[in-house]
Amino acid sequence: MSLLPVVRMGAPVLRRVATTVVDPTHPDINALAQSMMETMVEAPGVGLAAPQIGSSLRLIVMRLIADRSAVDEPLRMTALINPELEPIGDAIELGWEGCLSVPELRGVVPRHARIAYRGWLPDGRRVEGEAEGFQARILQHEVDHLDGILYLDRMRDFATLGYGPEIQAAAAVAQGEDTEL
């Protein structure tokens, strides 16, 4: 296991549609997921997608946290292979996002408030469930990475785009909202 360099916006891999993982139980996939989790924690971030470390595979890792204010809680995280999402209902929420591949910037992004997800764990188990709020936001942000989409593409109001410290200084965001996905 090792820390992996995170590629930044401009790298073509971030704009490619990533490839389905043929064998979610392959040891190489498990090792990659472990290294991605280490890298995410070290960054620190709350989510990371394989294209962000230069690997065009449909694999994400993420923290399991109910909301932003929980970022200091003990680490719980998971990997999700070949994740699929489906919105539940029509509700859209606006929320701040950042991205390890777009360092320092923050912007307000509309996301589905509730989603159903399914995918595979590295041990071969199929998982499915529902997520809402911040967890749903993380999932949508990370799965977008697998389709070559960055949060900037989802923004509706670029007047909200700015650097974390300046935004915080302007008191436009509450404490704990400077998480990177």
What positions carry a catalytic annotation? 142
The span of 83-91, 98-106, 129-137, 167-175 binding Ni ion (CB under 5 A) equals 98-106
Our finding on whether 143 is near Ni ion (CB under 5 A) is: no
The CA distances from residue 81 to 36, 109, 129, in Å, are 13, 24, 14
Does 18 engage in binding with Ni ion (CB under 5 A)?
Answer: no
For residue 181, state whether it binds Ni ion (rule: CB under 5 A): yes
Among 53, 61, 99, 167, binds Ni ion (CB under 5 A): 99
Closest residue by Cα to residue 167 from 113, 98, 100: 98
113 lies in the site for Ni ion, by CB under 5 A: no
At residue 9, the 3 state secondary structure works out as: coil
Tell me which residue has tokens 């992004």. Answer: 109
36 binds Ni ion (CB under 5 A): no
The whole-angstrom separation of Cα 97 and Cα 105 is 8
60 binds Ni ion (CB under 5 A): no
Window of 22-30, 71-79, 81-89, 92-100 that interacts with Ni ion by CB under 5 A: 92-100
The H or E element that residue 28 is part of is helix 27-42
Binding site for Ni ion (CB under 5 A): 99, 181
